[in-house]
Amino acid sequence: MKTFYIETFGCQMNAHDSEKVVGTLLTRGYEQVETPEDAELVLYNTCSIRDKAEQKVFNRLQNFKRHAGKGKVFGVLGCVAQQEGEKIFDRAPHVSLVVGSASYNQLPQLLVQIENGDKRVTGLSLDTEDTFETPMTSRDNPHRAFLTIIEGCNKACSYCVVPFTRGPERSRTAASVIAEAKQLVAAGYLEIMLLGQNVNSYRDPSPDGLNFAQLLEKLGEVQGLRRVRFTTSHPRDFTKEIIDAIDANPVLCNHIHLPVQSGSTEVLTKMQRMYTRDQYLRRIEWMKNAKRKMSITSDIIVGFPGETEQDLEQTLSLQDEVQFDSVFTFKYSKRPNTPALALEDHMSEDEKTRRLTMVMEKQRTIQLRINAEYLGTVEEVLVEGFNKATGQWISRTTQHKTLNFNHTVPDANLAGTFMNVMVTRAGPHSLVGESVV
């Protein structure tokens, strides 16, 4: 029996790629083990979105260097593999396999080469036409399944490494997406999270040519499917039709993650985001006018080259105006090959930290206020699991808020069920409540 270990860094696309890699290995007769020590094949599925993420894999490889050659094979997958390519063999000579995120469909052949004892095997093509579909995907969560609808990215945000690591956009046919959704429901999944670097630019390659909103409508009709979510959206491609589809069908969750990156049109222009502050706010207005209360979340980068104090003020005022339910905040990080490297006025880390703190503090106050609005309301939640330390069940509302709740019936197994929960406490990052039976 051949054994493997895999550790995953980065986004949900990467998490899902790992699920597919695991499925591919299991069908080839490999057994998954819990530690790198126990494995013959050690895989790292890597992220290069920021420098810190990239460093992690090289730290891991350094830690296990001493095991190299003792029957252990090391593989680097994902975005760092694509970005660094064969240079990885120079930095970490004990690595045998380097496979970029756009080349996973070659994985079975590459594994054969490894099994035959090849010491340096690569899959780094970016121009692959195919999407990564496998006969078997080993999913981590028993209730919520990831489902890729589009791979790659055709945008050119000046800070972003993703177009280089994941290649150009490839949409799956709507028929194959719907067929997979039906299979997932038949296998007991209640919720599907649609994935893509930019799901809004989805376009069915078959003659039907469905756009993203039309695909959502179709998925909302799949019998037995209770929740559909999606990530990530891009403001430039986000349409009012998407909100209309959500309005028309409660299976489509009332949560939109719409990364804004900055509240300043000048900075957005330098970022090559292709929208202005006002255009972003127009999309927010659509959401605010929706029939159900939308939760709106975002990503913000501080310290982009040339960001002035006024630009930062614009981001803070945008936070006030939108009232985001939550925001991921990042300090700008220089990435190889990206156009922003050539810009002037790169900022010190200390100054980036100061700006990050301002954005985060503002956001904390907003979240406390927003979450307090839920006190006393009853929310329908999908239960994810039990937290032994707190004695509470962990669940999510349709708006993707975490709601931890007490349930008086002992020994009940609520995981994977829908419950009604009354909110009794509200913090900045989660809600607490009591089940309503």
Q: Pick out residues in 100-159 that bind ligand SF4 (CB under 6 A).
A: none
**Beta strand pairing status for 144-148 and 191-195?**
parallel
**Count of beta carbons in the 10 Å neighbourhood of residue 267:** 23
Q: Which residue has the tokens 């949409």?
A: 171
User: Choosing among ligand 5AD, ligand SF4, none, which partner's interface includes residue 13 (Cβ < 5 to 8 Å by kind)?
Assistant: ligand SF4
User: Choosing among ligand 5AD, ligand SF4, none, which partner's interface includes residue 200 (Cβ < 5 to 8 Å by kind)?
Assistant: none
Q: Which residue has the tokens 């490839």?
A: 170
Query: What's the rounded Cα separation, in Å, for the pair 198 and 178?
Result: 19
User: Choosing among ligand SF4, ligand 5AD, none, which partner's interface includes residue 122 (Cβ < 5 to 8 Å by kind)?
Assistant: none
- From 102, 160, 243, 414, residue interacting with ligand 5AD (rule: CB under 6 A): 160
* One-letter-per-residue 3-state SS of 246-285: HHHCCCECCEEECCCECCCHHHHHHCCCCCCHHHHHHHHH
Residue 342's contacts (CB-CB under 8 Å, 6 or more residues apart) are none
- From 49, 216, 359, 421, residue interacting with ligand SF4 (rule: CB under 6 A): 49
Q: Pick out residues in 397-416 that bind ligand SF4 (CB under 6 A).
A: none
Query: What's the rounded Cα separation, in Å, for the pair 277 and 428?
Result: 26
User: Choosing among ligand SF4, ligand 5AD, none, which partner's interface includes residue 330 (Cβ < 5 to 8 Å by kind)?
Assistant: ligand 5AD
Task: Give least dist CB 11 to ligand SF4, A.
Answer: 3
Site string for ligand SF4, 161-180 (x = CB under 6 A): xx--xx--------------
Largest CA distance in the chain: 63
Using the contact rule CB under 6 A, the part of the chain among 174-182, 330-338, 369-377, 397-405 near ligand 5AD is 330-338
Query: What's the rounded Cα separation, in Å, for the pair 32 and 43?
Result: 11
**245 counts as binding ligand SF4 under rule CB under 6 A:** no
Q: Pick out residues in 250-289 that bind ligand 5AD (CB under 6 A).
A: 259, 261
User: Choosing among ligand 5AD, ligand SF4, none, which partner's interface includes residue 50 (Cβ < 5 to 8 Å by kind)?
Assistant: ligand 5AD
β-strand partners of 42: 5, 74
Q: Which residue has the tokens 């491609």?
A: 237
Backbone angles phi, psi at 406, to 5 degrees: -90, 145
**20 counts as binding ligand 5AD under rule CB under 6 A:** no
Crossing angle of helices 212-220 and 240-248, in 10° steps, is 10
User: Choosing among ligand 5AD, ligand SF4, none, which partner's interface includes residue 164 (Cβ < 5 to 8 Å by kind)?
Assistant: none
User: Would you state the structure tokens that stand for residue 395, as one six-digit string?
Assistant: 């669940």
- From 61, 79, 252, 302, residue interacting with ligand SF4 (rule: CB under 6 A): 79
Residues found near ligand 5AD in the complex (CB under 6 A):
49-50, 159-160, 259, 261, 299, 301, 330, 332-333, 335
